Structure 1
Amino acid sequence: MSAPFLAQSFHVRWSTLNPACIESDISASLLRAEQAIDALISQDRGRLTFERVMLAYEDALKELNEAWGLVTHLDAVCNSPEIREAHNKMLPLVSSFFAKIPLNEHLWDLLLTYSKTDQARDLTGVRRRCVDEALAYFRQHGAELPVAKKQRLEEIEAELSQATQKYSENVLDSTNAWELIIDDPAKLAGLPASAVDAARADAAAKGLGTEEQPVYRFTLKAPSLIPVMEHLEDAAIRKQVWEGSGTIGRGGNYDNTALIWQILKLRNEKAQLLGKKNFADYVLERRMAKSGQNALDFTHNLHAKVSEAFRREVIALQEYVADKEGAAVRLLEPWEVAYWSEKRRRELYDFDEEQLRPYFPVDGVLSGMFRIAERLFDIRIKERQTVCIDGADADAPEGDGSGVSAQDGGVVETWHPEVKFYEMRNAEGVHVGSFYADWHPRDSKRGGAWMNYLKGGAPPSGDRDRQPHLGLICGNMTPPVDGKVALLTHDEVCTIFHEFGHLLHQLLGNVEIPSLNGVNVAWDFVELPSQLMENFCWERESLDFFAKHHETGSPIPDGLFKKMTAARNYMGAVAIMRQLSFGKLDLELHMHHATDENTDLDQLARKILADYMFPTGTEAPTMARRFSHLFSNPTGYAASYYSYKWAEVLDADAFTRFQEEGVLNPEVGRALRDSILSRGNSDDPAKLFHDFMGRDPDPNALLARAGLLTPLLA
């Protein structure tokens, strides 16, 4: 297939996406986008309309956005030397193109000229917001800067794109570079059977050990690392794994320290070029927080409310360990905290999270989650048959080049055999969107979990038919072992619901302007739908839709459910403080330390987080070197990690409506869909929240849910 990255069919023909085509396809798309922008700004200024200016501007960038989205997606899920080389070669050119758009004085003049026409002044609703948001975006990104500063801004964007990409590669490569092989099963005492089986299967997949004499391979990927830190009795091995986690982005060929300072310095220079004191003020200007100081004040206020409970929880765990050891109270080591915390939880609540695994087979979780969404949001989700075709067979004459093979009865191509594909339709049967799901770890796949979209949809408008969304959700959950079904932890289930919440926000987006549709909202509002969906993982009524024993089909027993909910807020203040520490570090680095490159990064982080971190005997290296949310993208969550807690206040409050009116009440679900999920950035997020709840947010909702709202703390 010629120009496979530029194919316009809805279903992606993944087998044709040869890395050798990236340079030519993206170069061609860049040229066409430039020509479209030139045609846009050369039109007759006396005939300007919303369609000829605003919609034409969005159309001019559509092909490039979609083509480059495919490249960056492959870099995230199928990383290879060929993809990495081609991606990195085109990255500066693509970054430069997008950086130049708001700096194009002729395009800026066109937008200003149109905004002053009678038609533009009479606009209302989403079209009015489209113009206002476009003008604000261009101003925020340098449209009114003098020429010399515009040139420097372009250079900064190119440097940031390359530095953040290298940071991301270092995290992936250093994660993959570490492994621990254990040949003595006696050393695995305490480790759940699921983790032992996974370690054995992982070793076998690498050609290590035999059936008669198996060995066990442990890595720094979450499904391998977390069970070790929480359950393994051998403290020396836990220490070894903890020390291994400290090598991610740190030391040797993969050290991110210099890159962090480079990124911080470039971001700070960018902010000051654009008239802001620091990068946080620049980024948050058009978000709910409005400024870095407001975000920092939010963090400090929540910190003050949980500090006493945090201190009590730390002391309680230290005293528990001292009692078990028959020794004096001491500081725990970093590789001891999760282990003793889990041990104490099992003792206090007679509850072990591993007891829940049999009730969370991955396919059952997904099926039940879809049924909940169907009931609440009046939609239908159907799995399609898929096939993963080797690139060598990409030119085989099956299908029509659309990514759907007619020969195989309409199966949809994917990028990996484990990937699944689903269609979403509304109650009338109209196709509103489709999505891929890729849930298990691979060496070629970046860590974490995320949602994204490859094609942004829109409702019918004028002569245009409905355009369905094409999204994706990815994670690194417990993989299947020896052909058996993958059984998830409850935390992993919550993560799947979280990413699905993002996906619903995108696929149910029903705004006619693509740039205002779906998840294209203020960053401190975007986590509301995702975090709200996590609540359904805790309610009996919703759990019964998907928590079924993988062998018997029975629901979680009442006794186990009671233990699970009783233990929900165990070490809750520690968990909140951990999240606050991430946001605090993020804001402080971007607001007060962006040019401190000669400062020891670990000492600085410890100073910033002195009252936020669980005190330990050995000081841990800062997670900044592997903090991909902050440093693997020119912007990403930079100066915005606080938004998880900001949105958690909103989601804790919003979910009270479900609790009061019915956890699976379709009327409440429709209200959420109509007030928030379908509205994208068509209105101010504070108004959208008010539309759903009928009032402003209750700032104490999060503390109440966490069991920390006492008269002393209120």
Structure 2
Amino acid sequence: MVSAGQAALNWSYTPEQISAAGDKYVNGKKELLDKIAALPLDQATFENVLQPLGQHENDTTGELMVITFFQHTSPDKALRDASTEVEKRLQEFEIECAMREDVYKVVDAVYQRTDRAALAPEDRRLLEKTHLDFRRNGLALPKDKQEQLKALHKRLADLSIQFARNVNEADTEVTFTKDELLGMPDDFLAGRETKEVDGQTQFVVTTKYPDLFPILTLAKREATRQRLQYAYDTRCKENIGLLEEAIRVRQESATLLGYPDHASYVLEEKMAKSPTRVNEFLTELRGKLLPLGHDEIAKFIAYQREVKDALGEPLSGAGTIYSWDYRFYMNQVKEREFEVDDEAVKQYFPMERVTQGMLEIYQTVLGLKFTEVKDANVWQEDVQLYEVWDKASGDFVGHFYLDLFPRKGKYNHAACFPIRAGSRLADGTYTTPVNAMVANFSKPTPNAPSLLKHDEVTTYFHELGHVMHGLCSQTKWARFHGTNTENDFVEAPSQMLENWCWEPEVLKGLSGHYETGKPIPEELLNRLVKSKNVCAGLSNLRQLFFGLFDLKVHSKPADGSDQKVDVIALWRSMRQDVTLIKDGQDDKETWPAAGFGHIMGGYDAGYYGYMWSQVFSADMFYSRFKVEGVMNPKTGHDYRYEILKPGGSRDGMEHLKAFLGREPKIDPFLKSLGLN
């Protein structure tokens, strides 16, 4: 740690400077690798091979992450384009680096000759992981196979970048009359852009989340929900071709490396280890969830008839629940059975109050102190910057940014971006971490501030949890910092923190009516908390579907035949089979997988991790925080130092055993869903 605040990052780049920074990185790393490759094998040591490699990553991570981050958030298209282009070049360069046989031979010599038990644990992990990376990149293959693999990896990099860019740039618009928006609250319509269409004033609605989710939840007319869902599910069709090609390329790469399929290749480095284990986990959980799901679908269908009767709409299609019905009828259950009105609830959760309350909670539980930096250098005027200090020691911890509202060309979802890893520099000093939370919450209107529905509060808490993971982690090597853990563990810390959003005292502290400042009323609060498991069957079946679909497309068929995936057809058939909800009308083709960013953004053959890590998150919360107190600083201290601080410097299972005092169990997770 350091006791004085380090300067925040520079965001004043031009497209030319972004390109030049990329060139500087490439030239510097190439020079280092050439130097290492020239070492005689009998002179190669951890100190002159692995340490320089790790140190170079430590020293360059900050600027590298900045220049590639612009593509997701900059309001300037020229900067976004330059950032996308430099990331493409950097990914191609890193593939070249990972395929350098001359460097591998030197690393392998160190690996074979070093007494690994004599190394410090994190140094030993750096050596073992670096050596494994080279082997997984095919350096043990004949030269012609190496070249083939290199070309496949470069193609995958191109495909993933183009896929993400297409999604980010897909700003589809649909217009609706006021009658078609029956059920939408006044604040949704206030200040909204309008157009004259066929002599009628119509409201412009986008497929961004702040428009999409409210309409799918509240619009009473099925035709309205259906039209917007159709627009959302027919964005960037070119991504289907990119995804299908990526699946083929991944399978070809895995085969070259001697793995039966891409899923086996990926899972080698995960906690789950094998596709068989993942499939068994998901299938077993699906069996437990299906009875709940069928009961919930029956409720949806009963409410569907009532809603259509009240509107005087025909019952054509009644008895089938479609993708555009899911959020609407889940909301009907909340309102009818629990008397929870999301529109009433959100009046008590204005953005500013939620942010203040949330930061207070994190400060208390984790022993931190946050200070907002006014007039900070940021990439867009709405972005906020905070300094983070350790409350007990007064040491400076790091920075984080909040970029919370949608805009054209911006990343479409909610996520935490690690901008700079905390790590040791060559002179022995410590560079502090920087993280950014990027989200798309509703913007303020002329009549009201940004108001958050309860599920948005939960999303906020979750993503801010990832930010805290990055801030509280302390590792020697940037490679292991923060969320650089196994992918099927990385969500567990933040999923665990979502439970705070169902604790009455916590919700009181987060709330304050945007007009009166009064906390959420006790009666409404109690009903909200009781609704925690509303439609838990269907909600979790939906997550299981994403995991099973991802596993299916990346696994070799049971009969051993070559895999040829029709993504559109497979998505549609699996969606209804697993979730009990039909994806769309038979006479209208859609392609929702074109927007499934996770499958092209690093979660390939790993989406199951969301459900897998839920088991760990439930155990951490119910076995410790729920027993010892959700605001208990001692429990928070243990969580900070056993779960967050190590980052990926040891296996996730070691984190869990240190925090829980034993290996994790599935029982708390099942109990949290009301299944036992």
Same fold, TM-score > 0.5, yes or no: yes
Q: Which residue of 2 aligns with 1:700?
A: 667
1:172 to 168, 171, 187: 168
- Contact 1:188–1:196, Cα closer than 8 Å, also in 2: no
Query: Are residues 91 and 472 of structure 1, via their aligned partners in 2, closer, same or farther at CA, if it must alter by over 3 Å?
Result: closer
Given the alignment of the two structures, is residue 590 of structure 1 paired with residue 557 of structure 2, yes or no? no
Q: Which residue of 2 aligns with 1:302?
A: 285
Query: Are residues 79 and 587 of structure 1, via their aligned partners in 2, closer, same or farther at CA, if it must alter by over 3 Å?
Result: farther
Query: Are residues 483 and 430 of structure 1, via their aligned partners in 2, closer, same or farther at CA, if it must alter by over 3 Å?
Result: farther
**What is the deviation of 1:134?**
2.0
Q: Distance in 2 between matches of 1:323 and 1:439?
A: 38
Moved more, 39-48 or 498-507: 39-48
Given the alignment of the two structures, is residue 648 of structure 1 paired with residue 614 of structure 2, yes or no? yes
Query: Are residues 280 and 218 of structure 1, via their aligned partners in 2, closer, same or farther at CA, if it must alter by over 3 Å?
Result: same
Q: Which residue of 1 aligns with 2:631?
A: 664
2:193 to 191, 203, 212: 203
Query: Are residues 82 and 418 of structure 1, via their aligned partners in 2, closer, same or farther at CA, if it must alter by over 3 Å?
Result: same
- 3-state SS, counterpart of residue 14 of structure 1: coil
Query: Are residues 441 and 92 of structure 1, via their aligned partners in 2, closer, same or farther at CA, if it must alter by over 3 Å?
Result: closer
Matches within 5 A, 1:494-509: 494-509=458-473
- 3-state SS, counterpart of residue 451 of structure 1: strand
- AA of the residue aligned to 1:655: F
**What is the deviation of 1:521?**
0.6
1:96 to 92, 95, 98: 92
Superimposed CA distance per residue, residues 356-386 of structure 1 (whole angstroms, 9 cap, x where no aligned partner): 1122111221221111111111111111113
- AA of the residue aligned to 2:419: L
Given the alignment of the two structures, is residue 311 of structure 1 paired with residue 294 of structure 2, yes or no? yes
Q: Distance in 1 between matches of 2:430 and 2:518?
A: 41
> What TM-score does the superposition give when structure 2 sets the normalisation length?
0.91
- AA of the residue aligned to 1:466: Y
Query: Are residues 316 and 680 of structure 1, via their aligned partners in 2, closer, same or farther at CA, if it must alter by over 3 Å?
Result: same
Query: Are residues 60 and 612 of structure 1, via their aligned partners in 2, closer, same or farther at CA, if it must alter by over 3 Å?
Result: same
2:377 to 390, 410, 413: 413
Q: Which residue of 2 aligns with 1:404?
A: none
- Contact 1:517–1:681, Cα closer than 8 Å, also in 2: yes
Matches within 5 A, 1:451-466: 451-458=416-423, 464-466=428-430
- Contact 1:264–1:595, Cα closer than 8 Å, also in 2: no
Matches within 5 A, 1:510-549: 510-549=474-513
- Contact 1:33–1:64, Cα closer than 8 Å, also in 2: no
- Contact 1:440–1:478, Cα closer than 8 Å, also in 2: yes
Given the alignment of the two structures, is residue 574 of structure 1 paired with residue 561 of structure 2, yes or no? no
Query: Are residues 465 and 88 of structure 1, via their aligned partners in 2, closer, same or farther at CA, if it must alter by over 3 Å?
Result: closer
**What is the deviation of 1:332?**
3.2
- Contact 2:77–2:409, Cα closer than 8 Å, also in 1: no
Given the alignment of the two structures, is residue 627 of structure 1 paired with residue 596 of structure 2, yes or no? yes
Q: Distance in 2 between matches of 1:29 and 1:462?
A: 17
Q: Distance in 2 between matches of 1:118 and 1:95?
A: 31
Superimposed CA distance per residue, residues 277-306 of structure 1 (whole angstroms, 9 cap, x where no aligned partner): 111111110110112222122111111111
**Unpaired stretches in structure 2, ≥5 consecutive residues:** 1-5, 310-314
Query: Are residues 235 and 248 of structure 1, via their aligned partners in 2, closer, same or farther at CA, if it must alter by over 3 Å?
Result: same
2:394 to 429, 436, 451: 429
**What is the deviation of 1:63?**
5.6
Matches within 5 A, 1:236-315: 236-250=223-237, 255-315=238-298
- AA of the residue aligned to 1:678: K
Instruction: Count residues in correspondence.
Output: 655
- 3-state SS, counterpart of residue 350 of structure 1: coil
Q: Which residue of 2 aligns with 1:393?
A: none
Q: Distance in 2 between matches of 1:142 and 1:590?
A: 19
Q: Distance in 1 between matches of 2:81 and 2:630?
A: 49
**What is the deviation of 1:551?**
2.9
Moved more, 335-344 or 530-539: 335-344
**What is the deviation of 1:688?**
1.0
**What is the deviation of 1:47?**
5.8
**What is the deviation of 1:348?**
1.2
- Contact 1:92–1:158, Cα closer than 8 Å, also in 2: no
- AA of the residue aligned to 1:35: E
**What is the deviation of 1:495?**
0.9
**Unpaired stretches in structure 1, ≥5 consecutive residues:** 1-8, 387-411, 710-714
Q: Distance in 2 between matches of 1:158 and 1:415?
A: 30
Q: Which residue of 1 aligns with 2:515?
A: 551
Measured on the aligned residues, the alpha-carbon RMSD in Å equals 2.5
- Contact 1:26–1:64, Cα closer than 8 Å, also in 2: no
Identity of aligned residues (%): 27
Q: Which residue of 2 aligns with 1:396?
A: none
Moved more, 694-703 or 216-225: 694-703
Q: Distance in 2 between matches of 1:338 and 1:523?
A: 28
**What is the deviation of 1:232?**
1.4
Matches within 5 A, 1:250-399: 250=237, 255-323=238-306, 325=308, 330-386=319-375
**What is the deviation of 1:591?**
0.7
**What is the deviation of 1:615?**
3.4
- Contact 2:187–2:448, Cα closer than 8 Å, also in 1: no
- AA of the residue aligned to 1:185: K
- Contact 2:354–2:510, Cα closer than 8 Å, also in 1: yes
Superimposed CA distance per residue, residues 327-367 of structure 1 (whole angstroms, 9 cap, x where no aligned partner): 79622344334323322321111111111112211122122
Q: Which residue of 2 aligns with 1:234?
A: 221
Q: Distance in 2 between matches of 1:341 and 1:684?
A: 38
Given the alignment of the two structures, is residue 565 of structure 1 paired with residue 558 of structure 2, yes or no? no
Given the alignment of the two structures, is residue 480 of structure 1 paired with residue 467 of structure 2, yes or no? no
**What is the deviation of 1:40?**
2.9
Q: Distance in 2 between matches of 1:61 and 1:599?
A: 38
Query: Are residues 122 and 600 of structure 1, via their aligned partners in 2, closer, same or farther at CA, if it must alter by over 3 Å?
Result: closer
- Contact 2:300–2:321, Cα closer than 8 Å, also in 1: no
Moved more, 355-364 or 591-600: 591-600
Q: Which residue of 2 aligns with 1:224?
A: 211
- Contact 2:68–2:86, Cα closer than 8 Å, also in 1: no
**What is the deviation of 1:316?**
2.3
1:440 to 387, 405, 409: 405
Q: Which residue of 1 aligns with 2:604?
A: 638
Query: Are residues 218 and 435 of structure 1, via their aligned partners in 2, closer, same or farther at CA, if it must alter by over 3 Å?
Result: same
Query: Are residues 101 and 539 of structure 1, via their aligned partners in 2, closer, same or farther at CA, if it must alter by over 3 Å?
Result: same
Q: Distance in 1 between matches of 2:385 and 2:120?
A: 38
Q: Distance in 2 between matches of 1:597 and 1:79?
A: 41
- AA of the residue aligned to 1:356: V
Q: Distance in 2 between matches of 1:695 and 1:347?
A: 42
**What is the deviation of 1:545?**
2.7
**What is the deviation of 1:542?**
2.0
Q: Which residue of 1 aligns with 2:3?
A: none
Query: Are residues 382 and 87 of structure 1, via their aligned partners in 2, closer, same or farther at CA, if it must alter by over 3 Å?
Result: closer
Q: Distance in 2 between matches of 1:526 and 1:575?
A: 21
Q: Distance in 2 between matches of 1:629 and 1:367?
A: 30
Query: Are residues 444 and 596 of structure 1, via their aligned partners in 2, closer, same or farther at CA, if it must alter by over 3 Å?
Result: farther
